[in-house]
Amino acid sequence: MKKSFLPALAPVFARSSLLAVMALTIIGCKPSGDSTPATSINEQTVASVAAVEQTPAAVEINIVDKQATFETRSLFAFMQAQRKQSIMFGHQHETTQGLTITATDGTQSDTFNAVGDFAAVYGWDTLSIVTPKQEGDVVEQIKKAYARGGIITVSSHFDNPMTDKQKGVWPVGTSWDKTPAVVAALPGGEFNSVYNGYLDQLADWANNLKDDNGKFIPVIFRILHENTGSWFWWGDEQSTPEQYKQLYQYTVEYLRDTKGVHNFLYAYSPNNFWEVTEANYLERYPGDAYVDVLGFDSYGEAENNENWFKNVVANAALVARMADERGKIPVISEIGIRAPDIEAGKYDNQWYRKLIAGLKADADARAIAFLLTWRNAPEGVPGPDGKNVPHYWVPTNREENISNGTLEDLREFYKDDFTAFNRDISGVYTIETRVK
């Protein structure tokens, strides 16, 4: 049976042990010549220890937003502790898209139907937040995920601010419109007001994202990801490293300082590097003052993928070492079989087992907090001939995945004691913290 991980209880266990040791020491150990009744000493000492037990030791953290909410700070502290014990499983659109679900209200998921539990990390995107919300509003689904103790992460596919009003034939005006727009989005740029409009909507959403008790729900916000590729308007062919850094920094400052968003942790996630060096990772890195979570995105071949798996482990080890040095959280922010392999129906029925085995075997890589796979799109995506083809990364409880062995692969991954799903985590939002 998988074990729940409850880092918030560690200080309680420590204080309980202290109480027991001191109580045993007191019995029969009253100093000779002391006129104070033994019962009085015991009562006073036990009362003092009980007072200590009621005051949890705060965990010291260093995060981007010094005014972050209690729950947001706790999420950071939880991941710092948890990542030494297990790797959490995440899935984009966990409860809002799927091949085996009959409702998208946040109560069902392909993951649950496959292994009997939800993902620990639930991914969504600004495409559900910024007009026209083309992936559908997800506030109620996020509330349900948070209520069951899950962790929320949101990626950003902001439209191209320069061509936003020119939408027509895809990809014009979308994130995938490669017209360079980073400089135009910065203060003083011609389209800064358009970019601010996206951030205003995101900030309004965040400042109203509350649970049923009126507490803000924490979000790991992944800013302008895969910036070392060139398929988005903020990519490496569309901006210099300094220009990208400025836009990332501006985004954090605008949300945190101008709009008063205090329930975000901020994630940086370039693509995986084939020359795995800290220098390469830092080339477009916006700086420790602007990043809480160090991640990377990586998609590889369905076949002959031994070298790719080795590269994933090397990149995971790199971000884990860098996170240790900086007091950050390391993650694999996206991972899966690459397009077009996945759409062509190619698969590897050892994929999940290879992934966890490789990560576990490396002393550094095993310390990542989570890994996240992409969405299970029920409609698929348009193929070469215009007809929709499969587009999913979590094997499902269907005949197709039963017969090809991919469901068994996911279930073995789930059974591994080093993977954590929703029911394997507790106390995520209850840890006392102190911000440096």
Residues marked active site are found at 226, 334
CA 43-44-50 angle, to 5 degrees, is 85
In order of 117, 150, 336, 422, the CA distances from 91 in angstroms are: 12, 11, 11, 11
Neighbours of 286 (CB within 10 A): 23
Half-sphere exposure of 54 (CA within 13 A, CB side): 6
Q: What one-character-per-residue DSSP string does 199-256 give? A: HHHHHHHHTT-B-TTSPBPPEEEE-S--TTSSSSTTSTTTS-HHHHHHHHHHHHHIII
- Distance separating alpha carbons of residues 370 and 75, to the nearest angstrom: 13
Contact call for residues 369 and 331 (beta carbons, < 8 A): yes
The single-letter code of the amino acid at 308 is W
The Cβ of residue 169 has, within 10 Å, a number of other Cβ atoms equal to: 7
Q: What CA–CA distance (Å, rounded) separates 62 from 54?
A: 25
Token pair of 401 as six digits:
């995945």
